[in-house]
Amino acid sequence: MAAAAPRGLLALLVLSGLLAGAAATSPNIIALVSVTPGKLILSCNMTAPHGPVEGHEWMRGDKTLQTDTESSAFTSYTIEGKMEEHSGVYDCVYKTNPVVKGQVNISVAPQVVAYKKSEHGNEGDTGVLTCKSPSFPPVSTWTWYKNEREPIINASGRYIIKSSGNKTELRILKLSIEEDTGDYHCNASNAFGFGGAAVNLRVRSRLAALWPFLGIVAEVLVLVTIIFIYEKRRKPDEVLDDDDGGSAPLKSNATNHKDKNVRQRNAN
């Protein structure tokens, strides 16, 4: 496995200006990246011939990073941080008529990160491991290893690798606890060096997914048992209460019968 290349490579570019309605006399732009501790300075210097400059803009993609109204042929933009954190393509735009653009590239070795440092999968399912690199230039080659052994071959057995630009994905079919548990390494390379990251895969038994359900069933059974015991102990007390309530009507009937006999004797 190749070792990582030294970081902090300095990008130095001399680019021609991109002039709207390109002409044979287009001005040239010298673009530089200067690296100082904790700081990057991007600069563009436009050579003659060129028209009046009414200002400058620094852009990255569609995002405007800095703008001014200075008329100088020289312009710069300062970035706080390391090269690895800010790699990419930057444009210096001269507000002339027509507009002139230069380009500054901050190029580094791939800075690879795993989507998740630890992945879990159930036995028999498909495991998916993902790595990406946001660095410039894009990754030219992705390689997967298991436990730092031989490279994993795409479409060999249960392994499927899908890589596109700065992202790679390893799919493992029919996960096995014995064969697939372990550390996986995703390595990337481009013209400026190498980079990599590791993902730990843990494979669980299918029965492990049932433990939460079995726990809920056990809780329900305990609750039902408690309710049953409580109701069982309450029952004798309720029977006694019913007996006490039934004796009152008997006394009332006896009294009525006695009063009836007394009235009959009086009538005789």
- In this prediction, residues 4-31 reach a mean pLDDT of 51
Encoding tokens for residue 219?
Answer: 């809780």
- In this prediction, residues 173-182 reach a mean pLDDT of 93
* CB-based contact 161:189 (threshold 8 Å): no
- Residue 8: its pLDDT value, please? 39
Residue 48 has pLDDT above 50, yes or no: yes
- Name the more confident of 199 and 217: 199
- In this prediction, residues 88-113 reach a mean pLDDT of 95
pTM, two decimal places:
0.66
Confidence at 249, pLDDT banded by 50, 70, 90: low
- Residue 206: its pLDDT value, please? 73
